[in-house]
Amino acid sequence: MTIPEITDSHCHLDFPDFEGELDAVVARAAEAGVTRMVTIATKLRNVPQVRAIAEAHAQVFWAAATHPMSVADEPMASVDALVALADHPKFVGIGESGLDYHYTADSKAAQQESLRIHIEAARQTRLPLIVHARDADDDMARILTEEHAAGAYTCVMHCFTSGPALATAALDLGFYLSMSGIAAFPKSQDLREIFAAAPLDRILVETDSPYLAPPPHRGRRNEPAYTAHTARVGAELFGLNYADFASRTQANFDRLFWKAAGAAV
């Protein structure tokens, strides 16, 4: 029986957790039907390593940004530098950028400046913005809405765990919500209800590996193959069989990450 194909829309294959194991990790992903993955550089100085991973593995694409939790310690990104990255054929998104007030609220002003820079780069490249949001729902909704009114761009709310108001704001702008392993945790019923109320054509799946492994691997290192576990939960939420849900999320990924969709894998 053919395994339905899905895409891990967000992972971190350059992290030390995967050192020396990338060939095996990519192979296990393929066995699980995860035929594509987007690996994310969270600091622009890590671009060479992340780009090299994408160049070495046909199934891997990449994106880059300054993560909001790193904004205070890294040089402020420039629009020109981000736009220049898009010259690479496997560079498919701007991110992850965003706002994180959980541990780093003291840098909120710099985070907001950085987010607006990344939004402008997404506009100019027409590549999707990949957003990280934690404990910053009001500011996030405000900035995303203000910036969209100033000039349209596309966006995915990666590893979405925020409240229904931010979900509604993002969906109203035409943005996408991405399900991580958190959506499969037993105590995440409120989050599952947010996803279930969203349009199916705006849903992606991801691991955010090496973090947030879904059951039955919770508490251990996450990896792209485990996207399948989260996708099965998504299929249940939308009342679909797994193959249909996989097909719909593939179409969603192709629509948003159009540059990856046009590449031969």
CATH number of 256's domain? 3.20.20.140
217 is in an annotated binding site: no
pTM above 0.75, yes or no: yes
Return all residues near 190 (Cβ < 8 A) that are at least 6 apart.
Answer: none
**Digit-coded pLDDT (tens) for 143-201:** 999 999 999 999 999 999 999 999 999 999 999 999 999 999 999 999 999 999 999 99
One DSSP character per residue, 197-260 reads HS-GGGEEE---BTS-PPTTSTTS---GGGHHHHHHHHHHHTT--HHHHHHHHHHHHHHHSHHH
Residue 1 within a domain: no
Query: CA–CA separation, 160 vs 255, rounded Å?
Result: 19
Q: How many domains does the chain have?
A: 1
Residue 94 within a domain: yes
Q: Provide the domain limits for residue 104.
A: 6-261
158 is in an annotated binding site: yes
Residue 61 within a domain: yes
201 is in an annotated binding site: no
**Digit-coded pLDDT (tens) for 32-86:** 999 999 999 999 999 999 999 999 999 999 999 999 999 999 999 999 999 999 9
Calculate the average pLDDT of the chain: 97
Residue 165 within a domain: yes
102 is in an annotated binding site: no
Residue 153 within a domain: yes
